[in-house]
Amino acid sequence: MIKEASDWVKLCLNEIDEVTENKIVLDIACGSGRNSVFISDKVSKVISVDLNIDHLLTFNGSNIFKIQSDIENLSKWPFKNKSVDIVIVTNFLNRLIFEKIQAVIKKNGFLIYETFGEGHDKIGKPKNKDYLLKKGELLKLTRNMSLIFYEEIQVISLEKKFIKHRILCKNV
Ligand SMILES: C[S@@+](CC[C@H](N)C(=O)[O-])C[C@H]1O[C@@H](n2cnc3c(N)ncnc32)[C@H](O)[C@@H]1O
């Protein structure tokens, strides 16, 4: 069964009036497609990219176009600049491709980004600090965009433990 989409993605999509039937969404490092599937009935096309073919094989949709690609291989970057309206990235970080990810977004398009923050390694995975955002880092990485929402949150409950940094910004 497909996992529940990210709460942050859901919240952001609710706030973006421009989420309409003629929009194209790119879900980067989509995994098993929870966010791709969630948004697929709200827009015209979803492009879902991941390295792992087993993950890509777990979901489908009539307007979901799946690409198996190593997005960290800069010489084979698979996307044209200014080609999509909304980019979604959840639980993935590679600073070296951050600018490339931003460049794919059309003018007036959006970036929805959510991943783990420093300190998370003490309460869960990933443990590798290279994959954890530093305080305020996501704001710096997106300083060329217009900020809509940003938060750094820590949740310690019986069910979940995580530290996440989340942003919604617009390419103006
Ligand atoms: C923690 S999962 C997150 C999946 C999804 N975004 C989500 O939140 O449910 C990270 C994903 O990144 C993908 N990934 C890791 N390195 C990658 C690369 N170099 N190119 C494309 N995908 C990659 C993995 O295969 C995995 O599906």
Q: Choose which residue among 39, 51, 114 to substitute to test ligand 1 binding: the one with the highest number of ligand atoms within 8 A of its C-beta.
A: 51
Question: Tens digit of pLDDT for each residue in 1-38?
Answer: 889 999 999 999 999 987 888 999 999 999 999 999 99
Answer yes or no: is the C-beta of 142 below 6 A from any ligand 1 atom: no
Question: Tens digit of pLDDT for each residue in 120-170?
Answer: 999 999 999 999 999 999 999 999 999 999 999 999 999 999 999 999 999
Pick the CATH number of 7-170 from 3.30.390.10, 3.40.50.720, 3.40.50.150, 3.40.50.10420: 3.40.50.150
Question: Under DSSP, is residue 72 helix (H, G, I), strand (E, B) or coil?
Answer: coil
31 torsion bin: left (phi>0), alpha (psi -120 to 50), beta (else): left
Q: Any idea where the domains of the chain sit in the sequence? A: 7-170
Answer yes or no: is the C-beta of 74 below 6 A from any ligand 1 atom: no
- How many whole angstroms separate alpha carbon 64 and alpha carbon 114? 21
